[in-house]
Each structure stands twice: as C-alpha cells, then as structure tokens.
Chains A and B, each alone.
Chain A
Amino acid sequence: MKRLVLFAVAICCASVAFTQSDKYVNAMKTNITLLDSMMSKGNGEDVANSFERIGDAEKTQWLPYYYAALGTVSQAYIEKDNSKKDALAEKAQQLIDKAEAILGKESSETDVIKSMIATAHMMVDPQSRYMTYGPASANLIEKSKSLDSTNPRPVLLQAQGKFFTPEAFGGGKAAAKEYFDKANALNEKFKPETELSPNWGKNSLQYFLSQYK
C-alpha cells in the first residue's frame, strides 16, 4: 500500500509537471496561431494580454513577454490616437525589457521589437521626433542583423521601411525589391530554434512579394 501510494504520488507529480509544460506549449501555440489573425483585425491587444498572462504565470519564460511585446507594438502601429500610440509603445517596451531580463541578454529577435517600438514612437510626431527615434530604430535593425545574420525579420522591417519611403528619397517599390528578396531568401532557410521560437513575418512577406507580380 505504502509503495502504491508513493508510486501514485510520483505519477501524479510527474503528470502534473508534464501537464504544466504541456499546458504552456499548447497555450503558446494557440496564441501564436491567433497572433497573426488577431493583429490583422486590430485586436493585437487581446492576444498580447493572453501572452502577458502566460508570462506572468510562468515567470521564467521569455517568449510569452516577447510575443506580448510584438502584439502590443503592432497595435501601436495601427492606433490612430497619438497619446494611446505612445502609451502602447511604452507598454511594449516594458514587456520586451521583461523578456530580455529573463533571457539574460538582448537578442536579434528582441532588437527587432525594440526597433518597431522606436518607429511607433516616431510616428506620433515624425517632424520633431525623427532626430531621436529615427536613428535609434535604424541602429536596432543593424544590431539585430549583426546578432543573427540568418534572421529574416530585421531585413523584412528594413524592406517595409523602404517600400513606404517616397522614391525621391531613395525608397519606393523598386528600391524595396532587393530587400524583400533578401528577406525571402533568409526566410526560406530560417529554422526556428524551437516550435515556439519567433518565426513570424511570412504573411506580410508574401503580401509584399505579391505586389511585384
């Protein structure tokens, strides 16, 4: 009996531990799947909140906060109210800071988010803010590339930036093409570290590439 109970306890503990991580992976997967669709509907905040809850509960995982920051900064991009745009960007900054604190270092992926945050801040008042946030955003893209030259996301950000810049300023559709091609090439070779690791951007890459057909 005693043995049986011990065995049962062991099984239970194991299964609890197992279900715990299983629960994490499943919750993450569900929300990662949701991320793209929610973002395109302008509901980035909802999915960001879900990630933040997972992060708060897990405490030792950086990815929930990373995705929460991504959802939040994406929301900041489409937000029209400038005071809210700034607030969302600040919120995204807090989340990515938490992710980096858990990760223990800055990575190519976190720099991508930080570059997006700087851009969001700049969009509030480009004229007076460019001097501060413009170079900050560009430097973070470069840093992201240097930390992982196989990461397609910093190149994708750069390509999008070019795409929306007027031709007379050296941007435009044609000028952006080589960057999209480069992002695409990187993307085809890119293997995420784990099934939960960042691997987004394919949809928008496909969208932009389809503009050239």
Chain B
Amino acid sequence: MYKFSVLLFVLISTTGRSQVRISGKIVDNHNKILRGISISIQNSYDGTTSDSLGTYSFTTAEKGVHLLQASSSGYKSFEQNINIGEAPLNVNISLKEEITELKAVVISAGTFEASDQKRASALNPIDIVTTASANGDITNAIKTLPGTQQVGESEGLFVRGGTAAETRIYIDGTLVNKFFYSSEPDLATRGRFNPFLFKGTIFSSGGYSALYGQALSSVLLLESIDLPEKTSANFGISYLALNAGIQKLSKNKKSSWGVTYSYTNLALVYNLIKQKFDYFRVPVLHEGDANFRIKTSATGMLKYFGSFSTTNIGFRNQDVDSLNMKNAFGLKNLYMYHNLSWKEKIGHGWKLSAGASYSTNRDDISNEYQDADDRKQAITNDPLYANKNFTLVNKGQYANAKVVFEKRLFNLSAARFGTEYNYSNEKTTYTQYDGTLYPGTVKENIVAAFAETDVYLTNDIAAKIGGRAEHSEMLDKWNIAPRISVAYKFPDNSQFSLAYGIFYQDPERKYLPAINALHFASAMHYIAQYQVISKDHTFRTELFYKKYNDLIKTGLGNYSTFTAINNKGFGDAKGIEFFWRDKKTIKNVDYWISYSYLDTKRDFLNYPFALAPSFATKHTASLVVKKFVTRLKTQFNGSYTFATGRPYYNINYDNNTNAYKIFDQGHTKSFNDLSLSVNYLPSIGNAKARSFTVFVLSLSNVLGFNKVYTYNYSANGKNKVAVTPPSKRFLYLGCFISLGIDRTQDEINNHL
C-alpha cells in the first residue's frame, strides 16, 4: 500500500513540474530551411511552429518516452521517439518532400493544355469565343497559337509543315471524323461543334501520348462539359442564324439532358456583304443536337452527345480554263454524330475510361459547266471541259471505340493501357458527263493497342514512356510506335521538356483506292521545350525537328483524279516557336503573342522533288488582345495576324519527260489580318435580372488587306487566278439570351 501511494505521489508530482525545452532545426531533403512546419509531442498540447530560419523551440512538462511529430502539407510526416528527461533536447529534423500534382513537373513538350483545373491555362472556351479572329470557331482560335499556318482556302489545322489531314480531332477520347463542314472549292469551312460544348481544349503540335494514333502532325483533344449548373433555356439571334435550346438538370443534380436546334440562312448576309461567288442556293443549314449526362456514382460520369446537320449550298465561280465561263458547284450534306463515353474509378487505384463514337456523312456534290447566262454547256469532244460536268456522291460510315485502363502507382506515377478500334467505310460514286458510273469503296479497320507509364522520380523530374501498335486491314500492315518524353523542373519553377516519338498514318482517303499496295506514312518528332508558367504569365518556347518518311506519291488515276501510287515521298520540318501571354501587366487587359518559324520541305503527291509545300510559310505571328471595360459592361477584342507569303506552284505532267514538272512558281504576298470584336453584356451585375444577354459584333479584316492564299492555274498554265476569301470583310452581329442562369459571376471572375 505504501508503495502504491509513493507511486501515486511520483506520478502526481511529475505532471505539471519542471519544463524541458525541446528545440532544433527543420530542413527538407535538399537541406532547404523550412518555415511553418508544425512540431508536436503526440497526445499533448505541447509544440510549436518553425520560424523563418527553420528553427523551433518549445517547452514541455511531459516526461519519459514520447513521440515527436513534425508535419506539413507537401512533406511526408516525421515521427521520432524521444526520451524527455531533465536536460534540454536538441532534435534536428529533415522532412522528405512528397510528390504532388501541385509541385510536380508537367510533361508538356508539344502540348498546350487549356483546361487543367489545377494549372494555369493557355486557352479556355471563353478565350476561344472572345478571340476576335476566331468568329466563334475552335480551330480558328487555335490558329492564333504557335505551330499553325494561316491557310484560308481549305479547312483544318496545318501544323508544323503538316497537311490538315495530319491533324486529328478527338472528343472525349474518341476520334471525330468529318469535324468540319464538307469541303467547298477554295473555301475554309468551319468546325461543326460549338466551343461551349467543351470545357477544355488541349492542342498538341507534336510528341503526343501513345493513346493517340493515326495523326502524323498534331492532335486536338476536346473534353465535353459535365452537368450544367442549372436548368436553363437559351436563344440566339443573329442576321444569319436563329437557335434555341434547353438544358435540364434533374432535381437531385445527378443527371441532365438537353436539346438544341439551329437554323442558318445566309441570304441576308450575302445581300449585305458582297461575295466573290454567285450563289444560286445560298447556304441553308438545319442543325440539332441532344445530350444526356448521368453521374453514375461519386466518381463516375456517363455522357452522350449526338448531333445532326443538313447543309444545302450552290454557287457559281469563274472557270479558270476559259473566259466568261463558270462552274456551278452544288453541295448537299447530311451528317450525324453520336458519342457515348464513360469514366469511372473502379477501386484499388484503377480508373476506366471508355468511349465510342459513330457518325455518318453523305455529300451530294455536283458541278456544271455554264456560260455567261448560267446555261449548262455539255461539251463532249474535249475531256478537259467535258469533265467539268459531273456529279459525285460520297457516303461514309465511321465508328471509333476506345477503352483505357489506368492504374495509379507510387507517388503520382501511373500506368495506362488499352485498345482502340477504328472503322471507316466510304463509298463514292462518280458520274461522268456521259453518264458513266465510277463507283469506289474504301474500307478500313484499324485495331490498336497501347500502353504508357508516367514515372515521377521526384517533384522535379518525370518521364512518360509509351508505345502503340496498330494493324490496318486495308494496308494489311502492322506498325509499332514508341513515344518518350521527359520533363525537368528548375528551382525557379520554370521547366524544360524533351519529347520523341514515331507517328503513323494511313494514306489520305481522297487519294484511294490506290493502284499499288501501300503502307503507312510516318513522322518522327523531336521536341525541346522550355516554359515558365505563373498565374498571370505564360512563356513557352519550342524547338522541333520532324522527319517524314513514306509519304504518298500520286499519279493520274481514273477520271483525272489524283491517285496514290507509292510511298516514296519524304520530307522534314524544323523550326522554333514562341508564345507569351500576360494577363496582369496592363490592367484589365489580357493579351498573347505567338511567333512561329518554320523551315520545311517535302516531296509528296505530285511534287517533282522536295519543295517548300504550298500550305506552309516561314514566319507567322499573331497578337491577340482582350480588354474589358467595366463601366461600359463591354469587352473589346482585337487580333492581328501576319504571315510571310506562301509558295505556290503550277505542277503538271510533262509529256516530253514523262514526269511531273514545275511550269510556274512564285510566292504570294504576305498575309495580314486585323479583326475586332465587341461583346456587350447589358444584364451583367443586375442581380434581379432573370436572363443573361450578350450582344456580339465582330468585323474581320477591318483594314481591308488583300489576302491571297494561293493561285489556281488553268490546265494549259496560261491563266493564273488568285484564291482569295469569299468577301473582303465579314461582319457578324448577334444576340444571345440565356434564361434561368446567371452568368454575372462568371463574367466577373473572367475579368478579375
């Protein structure tokens, strides 16, 4: 009993008695001083926070063996048993840095990420619609970024010496065929998809991941929006289109659906703005889309998006081979697109992304050779003129499916693998002037498997290593493409990346079916990038070299079209690019500057030898400026683009040498464009307004520069006609009203 009371006495007396000082210094694994680290003795209140010199000091009344803890976000917790006696203790602590998404280097060579929630972005959907020269078109906005060419006579993105066909576009991971409205002669058609359908845009001008194939130059990855914030109805009216739509969010906010319909008729526009072409059917479009989105669990999302559109256009243009004669071109298009995607975390660090898309396209194209009074001229004795009368029906069916499994490994490292299936079936029926039918079918099944891994060694160094294997049924060939990129972050948070990869692509469909067996064309990319990104500034520079092999060469096939004959083409491209964006220096002004230098030559199609291709120029620069004037509730946008002249050639078959020959060549004059747009938001800040209205006014080529994209030659080479935009300037005026949803906060925050 006595012993017990003594024990008790000792126990009581030790608590609340002599205080012992514990102190030391805290550093990280690079021996850098750490301030703000919490140090404590487990299960006691005793502890402190390290000061700016990394030192800490506190007193405790605890005695005996206790656990000393130190922790801070971004570092692995430190724990050590200490024996507290009577003497002061000195414990120096070293904390190990944790590899986190916030601190880790980004593997970014070749890529512009425009969506990432956690990182400063290059371009987001609002950036796209407020880029003056973009006119609300995604790819037009992308054309203000480095690496792209200002090609105005045909649609698509021409990236780093590549053709438009070398850029592929993906929505939610699956390939989109016929992203652009059907081609019209000497015109760049727009993309079919509204920028507001997408929350993020990633533009890669090379060196992209093994998840993507069948693109020699570039991929544009679009990620569709998730559930809307609120139920809303939207209306749009402009002098060329009307649209209406509804987005309905379910009461439990777990699912939504929406439909939109729009009608476009350019009759009024073409009456007001003089067009180069003489329209006998002014463009009329009917378009509709529908979507549903379902949150399948806390981490899962199922999305469907579908759209249809019909187009009807007909116009006459001066014939290049004759005086006073015209070509009357007609196009009717019917297009349908469906995309279903599902993302889910399936436990144990596994993530599944699956998607499928299906689309159908039908073009009914006709061309009539007409005289000055618009009467058809049926000529049969000269094939050059006879063949100007024809009809062409293109029917295409496309399907794409992709499954990606991702497993999170140590730190931020992850492994990804999956498979992709790509189907296309294109039937063309060409009806010659005399009624002779030339049917053709090109069918392709591509099966691909891919795997890649992201390895984060520390926060400062990471690598992405992957590979992709593809089999083409049409070519009856396999390819294996390695992809590697590494990134290193400097202590000042700037970073340096390198990327290497091989990319394969089928021969372009319009040169098929081929006369001989073909194989894949390939491109090898080497990219070095340096970038500094902060909240208000982005600076990026890239140096690249791209080597093309096995490009297709063409010869004359049936009915005077070009047909692929072999894979003996080749080429290369090298250059340097700069990008600077600044949102801070000038108050309420956001601007970016891009500059691209490109040196490229290629021998492909009917080129007699390696030439600087007619779709590429050496120097391209863009300046995009946006300024919001709060007092006027108005945003002013301007963009200026300059490009040096592009080469053009008259290449024809020389019967004397039995080879293609350049009969004439030159450079177009340099390209300049200044576009302005104004967005007026009258209901902004009116908390009681039930609707949100935006007025948009945009004017392209304000200064009226004469733009010449290239030249068309007559068959005999004696006549050369400049290919210019359909109108010198273009004016757009529209108004968009959204009911039930308040975008005020949205706008405010865009301009903070």
**SS class, residues of chain A in contact with chain B:** helix
Give the docked Cα–Cα distance between A53 and B68 (Å). 12
Give the docked Cα–Cα distance between A45 and B749 (Å). 28
A189 CB-CB contact with B under 8 Å? no
B86 CB-CB contact with A under 8 Å? no
Known: A87-B73, A126-B749, A127-B749. A170 touches B744 (CB 8 A): yes
Residue numbers in B under 8 Å from A166 (CB-CB): 630, 685, 748
Residue numbers in B under 8 Å from A135 (CB-CB): 229, 745
Query: Measured between C-beta atoms, what is the minimum distance from A122 to chain B in Å?
Result: 7
Known: A88-B73, A169-B630. A125 touches B40 (CB 8 A): no
Give the docked Cα–Cα distance between A24 and B73 (Å). 26
Give the docked Cα–Cα distance between A52 and B48 (Å). 11
Q: Could you give, for residues 529-552 of chain B, a 1 whenever the CB lies within 8 Å of some chain A CB and a 0 otherwise?
A: 000001100000000000000000
Task: Please state if B45 and A87 are interface contacts (CB–CB under 8 Å).
Answer: no
B410 CB-CB contact with A under 8 Å? no
Query: Measured between C-beta atoms, what is the minimum distance from A52 to chain B in Å?
Result: 6
Task: Please state if A170 and B686 are interface contacts (CB–CB under 8 Å).
Answer: yes
Q: Which B residues, 35 to 82, have Cβ-Cβ distances below 8 Å to chain A?
A: 36, 38, 40, 42-49, 73-74
Task: Please state if B745 and A132 are interface contacts (CB–CB under 8 Å).
Answer: no
Q: Which A residues, 10 to 50, have Cβ-Cβ distances below 8 Å to chain B?
A: 12, 16, 19, 23, 27, 45-46, 49-50
A171 CB-CB contact with B under 8 Å? yes
Residue numbers in B under 8 Å from A170 (CB-CB): 684-687, 744
Residue numbers in B under 8 Å from A8 (CB-CB): 5, 8
A148 CB-CB contact with B under 8 Å? no
Give the docked Cα–Cα distance between A82 and B536 (Å). 11
B299 CB-CB contact with A under 8 Å? no
Residue numbers in B under 8 Å from A27 (CB-CB): 45
B690 CB-CB contact with A under 8 Å? no
Query: Measured between C-beta atoms, what is the minimum distance from B2 to chain A in Å?
Result: 9
Q: What's the tally of chain A residues with a CB closer than 8 Å to chain B? A: 46
Q: Count A-B pairs with CB separation below 8 Å.
A: 120
Q: Which A residues, 116 to 141, have Cβ-Cβ distances below 8 Å to chain B?
A: 122, 124-132, 134-135, 138
Task: Please state if A57 and B685 are interface contacts (CB–CB under 8 Å).
Answer: no
Residue numbers in A under 8 Å from B748 (CB-CB): 165-166, 169, 171
Task: Please state if B745 and A134 are interface contacts (CB–CB under 8 Å).
Answer: yes
Task: Please state if A126 and B750 are interface contacts (CB–CB under 8 Å).
Answer: yes
Q: Which of B5, B40, B746 contacts A130 (CB 8 A)?
A: B746
Task: Please state if B745 and A130 are interface contacts (CB–CB under 8 Å).
Answer: yes
Kindly specify which of B115-123, B161-169, B175-183, B313-321 makes contact with the partner chain: B115-123
Give the docked Cα–Cα distance between A130 and B752 (Å). 11
Query: Measured between C-beta atoms, what is the minimum distance from A171 to chain B in Å?
Result: 7
Known: A9-B8, A124-B535, A128-B117. A169 touches B45 (CB 8 A): no
Task: Identify the interface centre among B36, B100, B199: most chain A CB within 10 Å of its CB.
Answer: B36
Query: Measured between C-beta atoms, what is the minimum distance from A198 to chain B in Å?
Result: 20
Residue numbers in A under 8 Å from B118 (CB-CB): 86
Give the docked Cα–Cα distance between A2 and B119 (Å). 71
Task: Please state if A168 and B684 are interface contacts (CB–CB under 8 Å).
Answer: yes
Q: Which of B36, B40, B49, B633 contacts A168 (CB 8 A)?
A: B633
Task: Please state if B633 and A122 are interface contacts (CB–CB under 8 Å).
Answer: no
Q: Which of B43, B126, B534, B684 contacts A127 (CB 8 A)?
A: B126
Q: What's the tally of chain B residues with a CB closer than 8 Å to chain A? A: 51
Task: Please state if A125 and B102 are interface contacts (CB–CB under 8 Å).
Answer: no
Give the docked Cα–Cα distance between A135 and B229 (Å). 8
Known: A45-B36, A130-B750. A56 touches B745 (CB 8 A): no
Residue numbers in B under 8 Å from A82 (CB-CB): 120, 534-535
Q: Which of B73, B124, B633 contacts A128 (CB 8 A)?
A: B124
Q: Which of B1, B38, B117 contacts A1 (CB 8 A)?
A: B1
Task: Please state if B40 and A56 are interface contacts (CB–CB under 8 Å).
Answer: yes
B103 CB-CB contact with A under 8 Å? yes
Known: A53-B46, A169-B685. A128 touches B8 (CB 8 A): no
Task: Please state if B126 and A125 are interface contacts (CB–CB under 8 Å).
Answer: no
Task: Please state if A122 and B749 are interface contacts (CB–CB under 8 Å).
Answer: yes
Q: Could you give, for residues 193-212 of chain B, a 1 whenever the CB lies within 8 Å of some chain A CB and a 0 otherwise?
A: 00000010000000000000
Task: Please state if B44 and A125 are interface contacts (CB–CB under 8 Å).
Answer: no
Query: Measured between C-beta atoms, what is the minimum distance from B341 to chain A in Å?
Result: 20
B631 CB-CB contact with A under 8 Å? yes
Query: Measured between C-beta atoms, what is the minimum distance from A164 to chain B in Å?
Result: 9
**SS class, residues of chain B in contact with chain A:** loop
Q: Which of B42, B74, B229, B630 contacts A87 (CB 8 A)?
A: B74
Q: Which A residues, 150 to 171, have Cβ-Cβ distances below 8 Å to chain B?
A: 165-171
Give the docked Cα–Cα distance between A86 and B116 (Å). 14
B747 CB-CB contact with A under 8 Å? yes
Residue numbers in B under 8 Å from A186 (CB-CB): none
Query: Measured between C-beta atoms, what is the minimum distance from B692 to chain A in Å?
Result: 12
- Of chain A, the residue at the smallest CB distance from B74 is A87
Known: A130-B746, A166-B748. A57 touches B44 (CB 8 A): yes
- Of chain A, the residue at the smallest CB distance from B689 is A170
Known: A88-B73, A130-B745. A83 touches B103 (CB 8 A): yes
Residue numbers in B under 8 Å from A2 (CB-CB): 1
Q: Which B residues, 1 to 49, have Cβ-Cβ distances below 8 Å to chain A?
A: 1, 4-5, 8, 12, 15-16, 36, 38, 40, 42-49
- Of chain B, the residue at the smallest CB distance from A11 is B12
Residue numbers in B under 8 Å from A19 (CB-CB): 16
- Of chain A, the residue at the smallest CB distance from B746 is A130
Residue numbers in A under 8 Å from B199 (CB-CB): 131
Give the docked Cα–Cα distance between A16 and B685 (Å). 59
Give the docked Cα–Cα distance between A110 and B8 (Å). 42
Q: Which A residues, 166 to 209, have Cβ-Cβ distances below 8 Å to chain B?
A: 166-171
Query: Measured between C-beta atoms, what is the minimum distance from B635 to chain A in Å?
Result: 12
Residue numbers in A under 8 Å from B685 (CB-CB): 166-171
Task: Please state if B749 and A130 are interface contacts (CB–CB under 8 Å).
Answer: yes
A91 CB-CB contact with B under 8 Å? yes
Task: Please state if B686 and A5 are interface contacts (CB–CB under 8 Å).
Answer: no
Q: Which of A50, A83, A138 contacts B102 (CB 8 A)?
A: A83
A109 CB-CB contact with B under 8 Å? no
Residue numbers in B under 8 Å from A88 (CB-CB): 73
Task: Please state if A127 and B750 are interface contacts (CB–CB under 8 Å).
Answer: yes
Q: Could you give, for residues 264-293 of chain B, a 1 whenever the CB lies within 8 Å of some chain A CB and a 0 otherwise?
A: 000000000000000000000000000000
Q: Which of A1, A50, A125, A167 contacts B121 (CB 8 A)?
A: A125
Task: Please state if B124 and A129 are interface contacts (CB–CB under 8 Å).
Answer: no
Residue numbers in B under 8 Å from A56 (CB-CB): 40, 42-43
Task: Please state if A52 and B74 are interface contacts (CB–CB under 8 Å).
Answer: no
A: residues with CB less than 8 A from B are 1-2, 5, 8-9, 12, 16, 19, 23, 27, 45-46, 49-50, 52-54, 56-57, 82-83, 86-88, 90-91, 122, 124-132, 134-135, 138, 165-171
5 A-B contact pairs sorted by A residue (CB < 8 Å) = A50-B45, A83-B103, A127-B126, A135-B745, A168-B684
- In the A-B complex, the 3 residue pairs with the smallest Cβ-Cβ separation, listed nearest first, are A170-B685, A49-B38, A130-B749
Q: Given known contacts A83-B103, A167-B630, what 13 new A-B pairs fall within 8 Å (CB)? A: A5-B4, A45-B38, A46-B48, A52-B40, A56-B40, A86-B118, A88-B73, A125-B117, A125-B535, A129-B117, A131-B746, A135-B229, A138-B745
